[in-house]
């Protein structure tokens, strides 16, 4: 006698249950062969739901909580780092504004350099500052040994940070060169001159190749604009 519709599971339903059972057994067998699977894939563990009181599952729940706490600690650390960088950026932006105001009022290159020297001590936490200028016309600077020391830097449009080679440090910082462990080389471009503004530090981590240079690039543009202004005043 055939079963009537609506009474008992259908053949397709029974097949689906058998497939689910086989899948469950396959997953369970795989996890038993790979006991560190959830350690290697914490993103899976973080999404598992295991109710309390499910036999020996308490340790799994505790491990899940530990993973989530570790993820939370990582995100908090990342947020703290971003906030610290934002605070540092805000401080540098304020210092750059103060230096810009100071440079606007100076009437000559000597006092412009004095303003940069004061900024070095009071605002940029560095031990040395130097500005070296070259003629814009390449034919007028071909034999300049200082230019040759910076042949790869002259006419660059972005700041370069990190340790300096002795042949670069000595022309810039003179007797202080041996003590300078890191520096920021800021390109300066004016109407009649091009060159480099160098800020040096005894701290090897003060200026690093991977640091952001947006504000230093702005400083170079400000100094270049001031040099153009002075050239027009005294031209």
Cβ neighbours, 10 Å, residue 166: 10
182 Cβ partners below 8 Å, 6+ apart?
161, 162, 163, 164, 200, 201, 203, 204, 205, 206, 207, 208
User: CA 55 to CA 194: how far, in whole Å?
Assistant: 76
Q: What is the pLDDT of residue 7?
A: 52
Q: Is residue 40 part of a domain?
A: no
Q: Is residue 7 part of a domain?
A: no
Structural domain total, the chain = 1
Q: Is residue 94 part of a domain?
A: no
> Which residue in 131, 232, 132 sits closest to 191, CA to CA?
232
Residue 178, both tokens: 């041996």
Give the CATH number, domain containing residue 192: 3.30.450.40
Q: What is the pLDDT of residue 3?
A: 46
Below-50 pLDDT ranges, the chain: 1-4
Q: Is residue 163 part of a domain?
A: yes
Q: Is residue 188 part of a domain?
A: yes
Q: What is the pLDDT of residue 181?
A: 92
Q: What is the pLDDT of residue 8?
A: 53
Residue 62, both tokens: 């505790």
Q: What is the pLDDT of residue 1?
A: 46
Q: What is the pLDDT of residue 134?
A: 75
Q: Which residues of 12-44 are buried (b: 16+ CB within 10 A; e: fewer)?
A: eeeeeeeeeeeeeeeeeeeeeeeeeebeeebee
The three-state secondary structure class of 210 is coil
Q: Is residue 118 part of a domain?
A: yes
pTM: 0.57
Which range of residues forms the domain containing residue 200?
Answer: 108-234
Q: Is residue 29 part of a domain?
A: no
Q: Is residue 176 part of a domain?
A: yes
């Amino acid at each position: 006698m055939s079963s009537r519709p609506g009474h008992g599971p259908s053949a397709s339903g029974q097949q689906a249950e058998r497939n689910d059972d086989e899948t469950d057994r396959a997953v369970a067998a795989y996890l038993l062969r790979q006991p560190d699977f959830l350690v290697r894939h914490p993103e899976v563990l973080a999404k598992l739901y295991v109710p309390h009181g499910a036999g020996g599952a308490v340790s799994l729940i505790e491990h899940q909580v530990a993973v989530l706490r570790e993820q939370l600690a990582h995100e908090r650390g990342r947020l703290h780092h971003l906030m610290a960088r934002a605070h540092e950026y805000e401080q540098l932006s304020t210092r750059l504004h103060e230096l810009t105001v100071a440079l606007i009022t100076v009437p000559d290159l000597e006092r412009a350099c004095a303003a940069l020297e004061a900024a070095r001590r009071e605002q940029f936490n560095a031990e040395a500052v130097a500005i070296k200028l070259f003629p814009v016309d390449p034919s007028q600077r071909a034999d300049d040994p200082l230019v040759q020391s910076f042949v790869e830097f002259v006419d660059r449009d972005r700041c370069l940070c990190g340790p300096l080679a002795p042949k670069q440090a000595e022309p810039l910082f003179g007797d202080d060169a041996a003590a300078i462990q890191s520096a920021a080389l800021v390109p300066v471009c004016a109407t009649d001159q091009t060159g480099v503004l160098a800020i040096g530090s005894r701290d090897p981590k003060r200026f690093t190749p991977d640091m952001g240079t947006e504000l230093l690039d702005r400083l170079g543009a400000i100094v270049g604009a001031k040099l153009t202004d002075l050239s027009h005043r005294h031209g």
